[in-house]
Amino acid sequence: MSDTKEKRPASRARVVARFGLLTALALVLGWLDRAIPITWLLSGAAPGIKLGLANTVLLYAVYLMDWRGCVLLMLAKVFLSGFLFGSMSAIIYSLSGGALSLVVMLLVRRNEKYGALAIGLMALASDVALLMRNSAPKGRMLWIMLLIAAASVAAFAGFCAIRKNPRLGVLGTSLAGAVAHNVGQILAASAMLRTPQLLYTYLPFLVGMGAAVGCLTGIVARRVFLSLRAPGM
Amino acid sequence: MKKIILLLALVMALAFGALAEDAEPAMPAGYVLVSTATQSGWLPLPTEGDSVFPLSQVLPDGTQALNVIHLMPDGVYMEDSTCKNHDCVGEGEVTLENIPERVLGNMIICLPNQVVLQLYTPEETMAILGELPEIPEREKP
């Protein structure tokens, strides 16, 4: 079942090597995610926002492996990086985000353009929700709202682009995966903290930022796929 | 006779003065809902000067955690925490004015120590609790 998309028949060694490579990459990028203080650069007092480079590895896996391989990779990434850098609660958040993100990416993989469309709509809704809360944003909040608006436009543009050229589809999967990761984490956090208000307060922001970051990682993933000349791209 | 009237007036003035002082104990500008993994409680903002509330707890995994909550007459911030990432300290202060400007709204969250602070106006507190929190007894979460 695995690697049926491969031109050459996949040997066991190839599968193992690829799995090891992706796991190592996910761990290193996970460390890099922590090292890049995007949360301070972009928005200041907004915890939990990362570039999500480690998630792009999962994105490649969705295209390179079958679903069982993806699940295994996700679990390896969550537990290894959890034991290396984090704590037990960090593992719970990252498992929740990773699992939801993987399920969504595997589903969107078949309908990439609708992934982009859905994220465009969600980012737009988030921006409206933020605007309703603060109708005269200034300073940092204004920039965040502009960024989310730009991400929403980019996602709609992505939808149109994928419709024209299905080879750009990874952008839709990346967008959906990034937003789903954030949603999974905030669900876990509000359940762990028993604070449903957290969803109301933080969800629009996380969805919007997920769309913005998903755009970036989608573009990166597209470049990587071009270089890899991965089958099916 | 004049003297008696004068004396009466003086006594009445003193009485009114004392009453006026009694009738206006300063009200807190807001209340902070402090929740941990196991408990929650309300802290009133101090009416004058700052105050510090050390929140000490044992986490479900057995580690001892301490969050130092700094209360000001118009807001609250996390002064220090035993958590690893110190996101809660970096989230800055919540005041009654800056809530719309903050990404996290009225909240300060310490995810590793599972502490959530939420600042509410007295009106919002009334709406949630149905009454204003008693100041000393229910202070400690």
How confident is the model over A84-141, as pLDDT tens digits?
Answer: 877 777 888 889 999 999 999 999 998 898 999 999 999 999 999 999 888 888 877 8
The confidence score (pLDDT) of residue A129 equals 92
Share of chain B above pLDDT 70, in %: 89
Distance from A178 to chain B by nearest Cα, in Å? Answer: 19
**Which pLDDT score, from 0 to 100, does residue B80 have?**
92
Residue B51 confidence (pLDDT) above 70: yes
Residue A224 lies in a domain: yes
**Span B94-111, average pLDDT:** 88
Position B44 pLDDT exceeds 70: yes
Beta bridge partners of B70: B52, B77
Distance from CA of B37 to the nearest CA of A (A): 6
Beta bridge partners of B43: B32
Quick one: pLDDT at residue A3? 46
Predicted pLDDT of residue A54: 84
The long-range contacts involving B109-112, CB below 8 angstroms and separated by at least 24 positions, are B109/A47, B109/A189, B109/A193, B109/A198, B110/B67, B110/B78, B110/B81, B110/B83, B111/A47, B111/A48, B111/A89, B111/A93, B111/A189, B111/A193, B111/B83, B111/B85, B111/B87, B112/A87, B112/A89, B112/A90, B112/B65, B112/B83, B112/B84, B112/B85
Yes or no, beta carbons of B101 and A140 under 8 Å apart: yes
Q: Is residue A5 part of a domain?
A: no
- Give the pLDDT band (50/70/90) at residue B67: very high
Domain count, chain A: 1
Q: Are A97 and A182 in contact (CB under 8 A)?
A: yes
Q: What CA–CA distance (Å, rounded) separates A61 from A2?
A: 12
What is the per-residue pLDDT for B138? 42
Residue ranges making up the domain that contains A21 = 12-228
Q: Is residue A4 part of a domain?
A: no
Which segment of A89-98, A156-165, B2-11, B103-112 scores lowest on mean pLDDT? B2-11
- pTM for this model (two decimals): 0.82
Structural domain contains residue A3: no
Question: Does residue A159 fall inside a structural domain?
Answer: yes
Quick check: is A233 in a domain? no
Does the pLDDT of residue B21 top 80, yes or no?
no
Residue A167 has pLDDT above 90, yes or no: no
> CA geometry: angle at A11 spanning A225 and A228, to 5°?
10
HEC sequence for A80-91: HHHHHHCCHHHH
Per the domain annotation, does A213 fall within a domain? yes
In a domain, A7, yes or no: no
State how far Cα B40 lies from the chain centre: 14
Domain residue ranges in chain B: 31-139
Residue A30 is encoded by which pair of tokens? 């996970």
Residue A47: closest C-alpha in chain B: B87
Interface test with A, best of B35, B103, B110, B120 (most A CBs within 10 A): B103
**B31-139 has CATH 3.50.50.60 classification:** no
Q: What is the pLDDT of residue A42?
A: 55
ipTM for the predicted complex comes to 0.75
pLDDT band at A31 (very low <50, low <70, confident <90, very high): confident
- Structure token pair of residue A123: 């980012």
- CATH number for position A137: 1.10.1760
Look at A47-61, B41-55, B71-85 and tell me which has the smallest mean pLDDT.
A47-61
Long-range CB contact pairs, B136-140, < 8 A, 24+: B138/B41, B138/B42, B139/B41, B139/B42, B139/B43, B139/B44, B139/B53, B140/B41
pLDDT greater than 90 at residue B129: no
What pLDDT does A141 receive?
Answer: 84
Cross-chain Cβ contact A198/B116 below 8 Å: yes
